[in-house]
Amino acid sequence: MTTLDWRRAVYAVLALPAYLGGARAQRWLAWRVLGVPPREGRPRLAAALGTSVLAFVLAMLIWYLVGRIATYGLFWDPATAGESWGGPGLAGAWIVHFFCAFGMTVPAMWLLRPLTEVQLRLLPGRTVAEKRTVAT
């Protein structure tokens, strides 16, 4: 996992709301988060919606797992510690849950790689009006 994988996870969470914001919002997000400049070409917004939804679900799973493991100690109940995976101690339960979450996060990030690449290929290019604005 690299920093680009984490940036893809951020991008995937924000891509669906940016889809609703229009072509400029999508291009701005791709440029800001992933460093991808706008491409020339015809927009394929309907195709991008499907990949945006799927990437959003995977990214939300990743961020849920990261947040849940980071705050696992806040939800620790000593009364039910004996029933916890890796229990009865907090450290053992934390380690077991970390590896379970890690085992789900890595494949989800691997799946985000091709999904974000497809999203970036489907991003709309500059419109004729925007080309004139940039040229002047």
Greater pLDDT, 20 or 125: 20
Residue 129 confidence (pLDDT) above 50: no
pTM above 0.85, yes or no: no
pLDDT in tens, 64-111: 988 888 887 777 777 766 676 666 677 777 888 888 889 999 999 999
Please report, in angstroms and rounded to a whole number, the separation of the first and last CA atoms in the chain.
Answer: 42
pLDDT in tens, 41-66: 666 667 778 888 889 999 999 999 88
Dist. CA 59–CA 5, nearest whole Å: 10
| Helix axes 45-70 and 3-21, enclosed angle (nearest 10) | 130
